[in-house]
């Protein structure tokens, strides 16, 4: 996983100059990038809505390799990234009796660990991709977690209106906002406060930039921390940048939002 540096945080990956320099440094990646760009252009033409477009992206990627579809280059990396997410939340107070919503649960890279740890029925995983949820069920079966009765649900948006108010101790979205335009993030932040318990929190990762905000192929979106903090505050939420996550070997950054004036859970 590339380490975040001042140079990488300032880079604008949408500029032709950046793409040309990257191609010179990584010539073997040029052909796969061109194939992906052509595929994405065709999918955007067929699916003007971002959610529909990205669902089609996930269908294509999942058909090739479900673990790669959720951003893991190898099975070992798939396991390591799942453990990283699980270990971080457990260190921050996740308990078996807690109810957890995993937005963009994918094929349960981290989800199977949460399901194994939480009391039966306390894990709720949602995703926009039916293809990746089929893979999630295979992961569930592989780890023999059927008796934990997790909830795995397809969703078309992040209004979260099908979920009960004040229900969740932890809401989690790993590598979701990194693939989302600002209006999708705004929709989620406008609604997540309703489903949180007073002491609950919502952790999400994002691709951070300290330069101009930009996107690449409408798949990867780069935001400044201040933009997302201000967006959360607009919806009456308190937001803070998670400095301890930055110490972990992961290319994305993390923000935690909670209800204003809610007590901060103790770290374990």
The 10s digit of each residue's pLDDT in 226-238 is 999 999 999 999 9
Q: In the chain, what are the domains? A: 6-259 (3.40.50.150)
pLDDT of residue 203: 98
CA–CA distance, 49 with 53 (Å, rounded to integer): 6
Structure tokens at 168: 């969740």
CA–CA distance, 25 with 131 (Å, rounded to integer): 34
pLDDT of 265 above 60: no
CA distances from 89 to 51, 196, 214, 264 (A): 28, 16, 29, 13
Instruction: Give the list of residues 6+ apart from residue 39 with CB closer than 8 angstroms, or none.
Output: 60
Report yes or no on whether pTM surpasses 0.85: yes
pLDDT of residue 106: 94
pLDDT of 263 above 80: no
The pLDDT mean for the chain works out to 92
Closest C-alpha among 250, 211, 249, 213 to residue 231: 213
Between 35-39, 164-168, 252-256, the lowest mean confidence (pLDDT) is in 35-39
pLDDT of residue 85: 97
pLDDT of 3 above 80: no
User: Count of alpha carbons within 13 Å of 214, Cβ hemisphere only?
Assistant: 15
């Amino acid at each position: 996983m590339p380490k975040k540096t001042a140079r990488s945080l300032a880079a604008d990956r949408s500029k032709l100059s950046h793409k040309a320099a990257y191609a010179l440094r990584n010539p073997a990646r040029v052909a796969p990038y061109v194939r992906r760009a052509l595929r994405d252009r065709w999918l955007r033409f067929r699916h003007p809505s971002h959610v529909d477009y990205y669902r089609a992206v996930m269908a294509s990627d999942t058909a090739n390799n479900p673990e790669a579809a959720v951003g893991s280059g190898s099975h070992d990396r798939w396991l390591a990234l799942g453990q990283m997410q699980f270990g971080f939340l457990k260190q921050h107070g996740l308990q078996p009796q807690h109810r957890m919503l995993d937005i963009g649960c994918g094929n349960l890279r981290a989800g199977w660990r949460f399901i194994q740890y939480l009391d039966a029925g306390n894990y709720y995983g949602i995703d926009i991709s039916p293809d990746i949820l089929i893979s999630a069920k295979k992961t569930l079966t592989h780890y023999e977690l059927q008796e934990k009765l997790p909830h795995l649900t397809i969703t078309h948006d992040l209004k979260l209106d099908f979920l009960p108010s004040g229900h969740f101790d932890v809401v989690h979205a790993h590598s979701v906002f990194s693939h989302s335009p600002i209006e999708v993030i705004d929709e989620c932040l406008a609604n997540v406060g309703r489903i949180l318990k007073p002491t609950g929190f919502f952790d999400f990762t994002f691709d951070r930039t300290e330069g101009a905000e930009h996107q690449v192929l409408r798949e990867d979106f780069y935001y400044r921390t201040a933009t997302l903090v201000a967006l959360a505050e607009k919806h009456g939420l308190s937001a803070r940048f998670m400095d301890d996550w930055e110490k972990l070997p992961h290319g994305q950054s993390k923000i935690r939002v909670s209800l204003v004036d809610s007590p901060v859970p103790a770290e374990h």
